[in-house]
A and B are shown apart, each in its own frame.
Chain A
Amino acid sequence: MSTPTSSSLGKDAWDRLLANKMAMASLILLLLISILCMLGPVLSSHSFDQQNLDEVFQAPSFAHPFGTDNLGRDLFARTTYGGRISLLVGLLATLVSLLIGVTYGMVSGYAGGRLDAWMMRFVDVLYSLPFIIFVILLMVLFGRNFLLLFLAIGAVEWLTMARITRAQTLSLKRAEFIEAARALGYSHSRILFRHLLPNLIGPIIIYATLTVPAVMLLEAALSFLGLGVQAPMSSWGSLIQEGAEKMDAAPWLLLFPGSFFCLTLFALNFIGDGLRDALDPKHSKN
């Protein structure tokens, strides 16, 4: 081999990702939506909860780019504000699930044996129960609290992350370079953090990217059912619920939040798929 510059695996993956047009387009879309949501409420001349009973149910116009709702509130401001909440919940809950899930899965897989068996049995039990039931149960018992909401969601999503991390850990554990590390006398923590974890990052990033839409869906469903964020706060889920109710009178109320939501999910899924293809060429469509 006589390549003039060395190429790490990371660089190869990055090249593949850049070449994936769908993923790149999705990334740009996601950035646009995020920026809009961050700046929207600031740029808009209306506040998201400003009611104006003279202007109810107005179709999209120059003054109100997305129209108004039943209380005369500007939909553009509400949609972008709701976006902040939805994206925030998505990111934070994913982070929580990442931290719990990766640690759990790594420890379980590395430890092996009975500890692993018990830890996984716990996960299996939880996995087969519909999350939404537990979240609802928690909401009913402990009241509706924004912090609790995303903790609950994150605490429920960690299961998949744990499973995937564990599976990867198990297969890596058998790889001979890990055995070589043990033979060379490296400590467990060195092996875990210098050898195991860097090789796990790939799948973790992929699933984190795919967890965000799952979390957002869960939050939206809860808000739709009325059990999520409370008024006057709004997320895309609650906006969709309001929009669905008033569909006949004002379809734009469903259209805008619905589209933003779906496009965000779409983008995240494509980015996740793109990452998966980039990091493991065998999985790619070719």
Chain B
Amino acid sequence: MGDLSIENLHVGFPSREGIVRAVDGINLSINSGEIVGLVGESGSGKSVTCNSILQLLPSPPARFGAGKIDWSGKNLLSQTEPSLQKIRGKEISMIFQDPMSSLNPYMTVLDQVAEPLVIHKICDWAEAKIKAKEILQKVGVTHVLKHPHSYPHEYSGGMRQRAMIAMALITKPNLLLADEPTTALDVTVQAKVLKILKELCLDLQVSVLFVSHDLGLVAELADRVVVMYRGKVVEENETQSIFRNPQHPYVKALIACRPTLESPKDYLPTVEDFMGETVEIQPSSSVHTLPKKNLDRSLPLLEAKKLVVQFHTDEGPLLAVDHVDLSIEYGKTLGLVGESGSGKTTLGRSILHLIKPTEGEIRFQGKIIGTDSFAKRNSLRKSMQIIFQDPYASLNPRLTIEQTLVEPMIVHQIGKSKNERLEKAIALLHEVGLGEEHLYRYPHEFSGGQRQRICVARALTTEPEFIVCDECVSAMDVSVQAQVLNLLKSLQRSRGLTYLFISHDLSVVKFMSDHIAVMQNGRVIENGPAEQIYNQPKESYTRKLIDAIPRANRSLNLTF
């Protein structure tokens, strides 16, 4: 009954440079009862493929080529809207990535979950609501039973996603399309939601197409894995086989460039290493000739004692950072890991005084900071810098790269002439693996990875000793992530930098850090050398975080 077969699918989008082939002739099939994982990075075409099945892409601008999508004998690409409407939500259902924006904020959760039954005339509203309550209970959204008139914004991300799953499966469809359903969720929540999804689908005998950028995650669920790259399918195999015996260099690269818990500490292989492409100029080995200052290295570079950051919200005072102690040695990296709401971002910013700490003491190079004049604080800013998460928002869109890099030098009076500053800017660009020709361009002309490098270069203009990396690789594809992480590591070596590396991704944190602090609800609940945290975690929350990592992402040696 539920067999989907995609044959020779071509999807293109018009752009200034002509037609961009998002999906360039792919074949994919899903058999009854199977869970198939579709993996690829941004631009691979996986999302476009998934959305094409139910014809949810607005067309125009999407253009479809010759191929077909076969479902129970019908070609979905040539069906009329009314007949597609009969299939959507009844035979094939779909869940999406962001449950906050994918649920209607003006309808109650119960109504939304019950609606598919009414749309497809399976039963009336009263009965539909009863069934909705049943399935919501099954997925663990029990709040709705006592509060049937509650709205999506009253629930957490995980609960909303469970409601979405309930909504998609209430009609017992044959096939479920899941487009990155757990990407927006915290790691522990992700694990739970994935478990519910798998159980329910097996129970109801629903086949699944699970789209994700995370190969390891997909391995948890899928029987078969299909890997896409630049619009084409590069490899397809059973899950175990793909990991044990990858054929295509891109797949090998994808597997190798993830920082797993066991990665070598110095360098992550990148896609370029495997595919033999030199896409980027390699970062030049440092021509750094900064005279090393006479610093007392017996003290930690940065210390925080009983740091408190309190916010005033509508519901009362909120302790974002709750009496935190930390210290970081020269040239080392302290990793700060936690889920959303843990306070890690607030902590990072309060150390830099971008958010004013409510209480507590911060020492930099042994001296207390934060209580000084603006001028003194400003000179301190030269030594402590930050790189942010979103490379698209981190650069002023109206300034050229040259202006962005030179401005800090002007403000802090680095370099005595215009030429000197320009030379320094060029040197910095080389150091992060970019070239002189990039100087006079604007941010929107660069990719995410390149922009992040520019942000790194900007952070380096004032010759800082300490840099806070605030989720600076979280918004990236795994292959770009590897490049940036390698860059950060090499800069640490050549310049003797000290990092506070903040992330929700344990594997990345472990790769980067010497020591790790685990945060939950504003408190540091565990703190120790990186190896120890992973191999002998003391707190149950830490253990939960580690267990939530998909097994395939924990180790390079994949026998599971």
Contacts and interface: CB of A to CB of B under 8 A. Distances in A.
A9 B381 contact: no
Interface in B347-365: 349, 352, 354
Q: Nearest 8 CB-CB pairs, A to B?
A: A185-B381, A176-B388, A185-B378, A176-B394, A6-B441, A176-B393, A177-B396, A175-B393
Interface string B384-405: 0110111001111110100000
Interface stretch (B118-126, B172-180, B444-452): B444-452
Contacts of B71: none
B400 A6 contact: yes
B397 A9 contact: yes
A175 B396 CA distance: 9
A183 B462 CA distance: 11
A141 interface: no
Contact of B411 (A175, A177, A190): A190
Contacts of B442: 6-9
B394 A185 contact: no
22 contacts: A6-B400, A6-B442, A6-B445, A9-B397, A175-B393, A176-B389, A176-B393, A179-B388, A180-B455, A181-B396, A183-B354, A183-B385, A184-B458, A185-B378, A185-B379, A185-B412, A186-B407, A187-B411, A194-B407, A195-B396, A198-B398, A199-B397
Most buried by A among B389, B396, B407, B458: B396
Contacts of A194: 407
Interface of B: 349, 352, 354, 377-379, 381-382, 385-386, 388-390, 393-398, 400, 407-408, 411-412, 440-442, 444-447, 455, 458, 462
Contact of A183 (B386, B395, B396, B447): B386
Given A176-B390, A176-B394, A177-B396, A184 B354 contact: no
Contacts, number: 73
A182 interface: yes
Contacts of A181: 396
A25 B395 CA distance: 36
A180 B447 contact: no
A6 to B, nearest CB: 4
A195 B385 CA distance: 19
A38 B392 CA distance: 47
Contacts of A3: 441, 445
Contacts of A6: 400, 440-442, 445
A1 interface: yes
A165 B413 CA distance: 33
A3 B445 CA distance: 9
Interface string A104-138: 00000000000000000000000000000000000
Contacts of B377: 185
A1 B390 contact: no
A177 B462 contact: no
A184 B381 CA distance: 6
Contacts of B396: 177, 181, 195, 199
Given A6-B400, A9-B444, A183 B381 contact: yes
A180 B388 contact: yes
Given A176-B394, A198-B398, A184 B445 contact: no
Given A1-B447, A6-B442, A185-B381, A180 B458 contact: yes
B237 to A, nearest CB: 35
Interface string A179-219: 11111111100100011001100000000000000000000
Given A6-B442, A175-B393, A199 B385 contact: no
Given A177-B396, A180-B458, A185-B381, 8 more contacts: A3-B445, A7-B445, A10-B398, A176-B390, A177-B397, A180-B388, A199-B397, A199-B398
A18 to B, nearest CB: 15
Contacts of A187: 411
Contacts of A195: 396
Most buried by A among B352, B442, B446: B442
A187 B412 CA distance: 11
Contacts of B381: 183-185
A205 to B, nearest CB: 14
B165 to A, nearest CB: 31
B59 to A, nearest CB: 14
Contacts of B388: 176, 179-180
Contacts of B398: 8-10, 198-199
A177 B445 CA distance: 17
Interface in A3-43: 3, 6-10
A183 B394 contact: no
A180 B394 contact: yes
B17 to A, nearest CB: 10
Nearest to B443: A177
Contacts of A186: 407, 411
B53 to A, nearest CB: 25
A168 to B, nearest CB: 14
B407 to A, nearest CB: 8
Contacts of A199: 396-398
Contacts of B354: 179, 182-183
Nearest to B437: A2
A196 B163 CA distance: 41
A187 B441 CA distance: 25
Contacts of A180: 386, 388, 394-395, 455, 458
Contacts of A175: 393
A153 B381 CA distance: 46
A184 B390 contact: no
Interface in A28-64: none
